[in-house]
């Protein structure tokens, strides 16, 4: 059984069809790449998975349990975690306060030790008193990832985590994501424009275009697909 699956998701926003019969499955300890041109509906699909956009039809199942009637908060408690394209952190708080808030929000019994473990998982060098405002983009992304990892999610949805990073940081992100998948067995669904990262790390890749899945294949084959080349690269 797949850890996360969605079946025949259709979404309308403002009278427009944004997603049309989208289905996919994500497996434990694997990365599923989700790519496609701007406006394809990738982020909207995450909103549906998180319960923020109610779909017109279709279902979402996490670890055998239907999420259809669940709020975002309930989905998080069941093991769903998500990062956003913009790494927004509460600038005025120290890292210590942010970890404390993250622990309290969902798992109040977690110890400081869990926060230290999570920072080491993402290579975040922490001075606990540092204000979040002093962190650069990559360290903000690491901080947000660490806050999520403390909860030991089953599935991590990541929306363009390489956005705003330089190449050496993307190489490090690659290693961090591999560690998360290999050591924790978490499934990652990775929306990403940096296709070299997707090719390197994803087990399978699903391509969305104009709200429809046009192909799913192993990452070493997907970009050879004629339909994908036409939709994605215009050739």
Ligand X SMILES: Nc1ncnc2c1ncn2[C@@H]1O[C@H](COP(=O)(O)OP(=O)(O)O)[C@@H](O)[C@H]1O
Closest separation between CB of residue 35 and ligand X, Å? 9
Rounded-to-integer distance, Cα 62 and Cα 131, Å: 35
Structure tokens at 138: 């990559």
39 binds ligand X (CB under 6 A): yes
Cβ-based nearer residue to ligand X, 121 or 207: 207
Sole binder of ligand X in the list 33, 36, 51, 87 (CB under 6 A): 36
Number of residues near ligand X (by CB under 6 A):
11
234 contact, one of Mg ion, ligand X, none, CB 5-8 Å limit per kind: none
14 binds ligand X (CB under 6 A): yes
**Taking contact as CB under 6 A, which single stretch among the options 35-43, 105-113, 122-130, 216-224 is the one that binds ligand X?**
35-43
Closest separation between CB of residue 134 and ligand X, Å? 30
Give CB contacts under 8 A, 24+ apart, made by 22-28.
22/58, 22/208, 22/211, 22/212, 22/213, 23/58, 23/213, 24/206, 24/213, 24/216, 26/2, 26/155, 26/187, 26/188, 26/189, 27/2, 27/3, 27/187, 27/203, 28/3, 28/154, 28/185, 28/186, 28/187
43 binds Mg ion (CB under 5 A): yes
Give the interface with Mg ion as residue ranges (CB under 5 A).
43
């Amino acid at each position: 059984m797949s850890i996360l699956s969605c079946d025949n998701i259709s979404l309308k926003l403002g009278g427009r069809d944004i997603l049309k019969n989208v289905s996919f499955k994500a497996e434990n300890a694997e990365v599923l790449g989700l790519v496609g041109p701007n406006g394809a509906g990738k982020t909207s699909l995450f909103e549906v998975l998180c319960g923020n956009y109610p779909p017109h039809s279709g279902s979402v199942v996490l670890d055998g349990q239907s999420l259809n009637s669940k709020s975002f908060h309930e989905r998080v408690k069941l093991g769903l975690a998500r990062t956003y394209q913009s790494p927004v952190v509460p600038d005025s708080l120290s890292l210590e306060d942010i970890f404390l808030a993250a622990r309290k929000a969902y798992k109040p019994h977690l110890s400081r030790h869990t926060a230290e473990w999570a920072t080491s998982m993402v290579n975040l060098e922490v001075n606990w008193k540092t204000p979040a405002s002093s962190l650069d983009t990559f360290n903000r992304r690491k901080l947000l990832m660490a806050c999520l990892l403390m909860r030991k999610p089953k599935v991590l949805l990541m929306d363009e985590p390489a956005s705003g990073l330089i190449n050496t940081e993307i190489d490090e992100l690659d290693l961090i994501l591999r560690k998360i998948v290999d050591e924790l067995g978490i499934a990652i669904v990775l929306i990403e424009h940096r296709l070299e990262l997707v090719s390197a790390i994803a087990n399978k890749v699903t391509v969305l275009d104009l709200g429809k899945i046009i192909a799913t294949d192993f990452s070493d084959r997907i970009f050879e697909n004629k339909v994908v080349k036409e939709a994605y690269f215009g050739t």
